[in-house]
Amino acid sequence: MQDIEKLELELLESIGKASDMEALEALRISALGKKGSVSLMMRGLGQMDPTERQAIAPKLNKLKTTVSDAVDHAKASLNAAALNHKLAAERVDMTLPVRPEAMGRIHPISQVMDEITEIFADMGFDIAEGPDIDDDFHNFTALNIPPEHPARQMHDTFYLPEKEDGSRQLLRTHTSTVQIRTMQSKKPPHRIVVPGRTFRCDSDQTHTPMFHQIEGLVIDKTSHMGHLKGVLAEFCKAFFELDEVTMRFRPSYFPFTEPSAEMDIKCTFAGDHVKVGEGDDWLEILGCGMVNPRVLVHCGLDPNEYQGFAWGMGIDRIAMLKYGIPDLRAFFDADLRWLKHYGFVPLDVPTLGGGLSR
């Protein structure tokens, strides 16, 4: 019988030199297969006398185990080498330099909305939100808007199809619906600002069917018109980043406030641009007033115990005013050139300490 130790050395050397899985499998078959060298030697044990078989059998079993373990070890090494090669070939170099500037831009509306909420949050106001689709009660009735009011007509409001009971939902025409929901769901005092999208049937250079508003509401037992003027004065100074802003309040009418006023700020018109804070001209930027007692009643509050004030402004328009954007419709054109010009870099987060605008 062939020298077992010599055969073991030859097989282990061949297995160690196997360069791929196919060569390794061929060696395994040639040694341990049905007609392999080790298998044939195992078959020869039957032809030996008992004494010789007792001496040879343990050596052959050891040879078979050693070769089998060597094949498994080589197979694991080849698999690991193949995996490492694949990982190296598919490796992504994370150390490549970044682009010199951010390619994306934050839309001016999003930026201004963040600026306004940052200012009012610093004053202690909470941010409230509500549904874009609402009902007649929250959008009109609870805000003391009578049935014959033009705003309820289809030429001004987007209505959804009638339900089986004859009622119709609508796209909210102002964010004041959230004021009603807040007063109905929570007990006073309330200090909230409500940013969000609103919808009206209107489209020209300064109007779009969808636009953005932010409204504020304060309800407690002691607030008055002086508090309203103080809050708006601090907002204007912070938003326009001026030491002083001259304001005036003109009497007006809104169904949901009494008394009502429109607030103007002093400015200078220079061609297509408006400079805020100085000059002899005036520019209206928002409407405001003391909350109408009827609104409080609709919300389940006693007007003899509670009072408050509210205001609202168009985010799109105030963004145009602050950043010199001439046409409101361009906000929604999805023009990348326009966004690159008027947009903000993603990490330019507005803060009162670091400055609101770029």
For 41-81, write each residue's pLDDT tens digit. Answer: 777 776 777 777 777 777 778 877 888 888 888 888 888 88
CA dihedral 357→263→212→102, nearest 10 degrees, is: -10
Q: Please tell me the predicted confidence (pLDDT) of residue 31.
A: 78
d(CA 306, CA 325): 41
The predicted structure's pLDDT at residue 126: 94
The residue extents of the domains of the chain are 4-89, 108-342
Tens digit of each residue's pLDDT (9 = 90 or more) over 163-175: 888 788 999 999 9
Q: Identify each DSSP E strand in the chain by its residue range.
A: 126-127, 133-134, 170-171, 190-199, 210-220, 247-254, 257-270, 273-276, 281-291, 307-314
Mean pLDDT of the chain: 85
Q: What is the pLDDT of residues 177-191, one digit of tens each?
A: 999 999 999 999 999
pLDDT score for 293 = 95
Q: What is the pLDDT of residue 353?
A: 54
Q: Taking 60 as the threshold, does the pLDDT of residue 354 lie above it?
A: no
Number of H helices, E strands in the chain: 11, 10
Residue 2: the pLDDT is 53
pLDDT of residue 201: 81
Average pLDDT over residues 235-262: 92
Q: Is the pLDDT assigned to residue 3 strictly greater than 90?
A: no
Q: Measured between alpha carbons, how far is 217 from 325 in angstroms, rounded to an integer?
A: 29
Superfamily of domain 108-342: Bira Bifunctional Protein; Domain 2 (3.30.930.10)
CA distance 294 to 160: 27
* Residue 204 pLDDT level (bands cut at 50, 70, 90): low
> Per-residue pLDDT tens for 111-140?
999 999 999 999 999 999 999 999 999 999
**Terminal C-alpha separation, the chain:** 91
Task: Calculate the dihedral angle through the C-alpha atoms of 264, 268, 273, 277, rounding to the nearest 10 degrees.
Answer: -60
Is pLDDT at 355 greater than 90 in this prediction?
A: no
Residue burial 158-186, b: 16+ Cβ < 10 Å; e: rest: beeeeeeeeeebbbbbbbbbbbbbbbeee
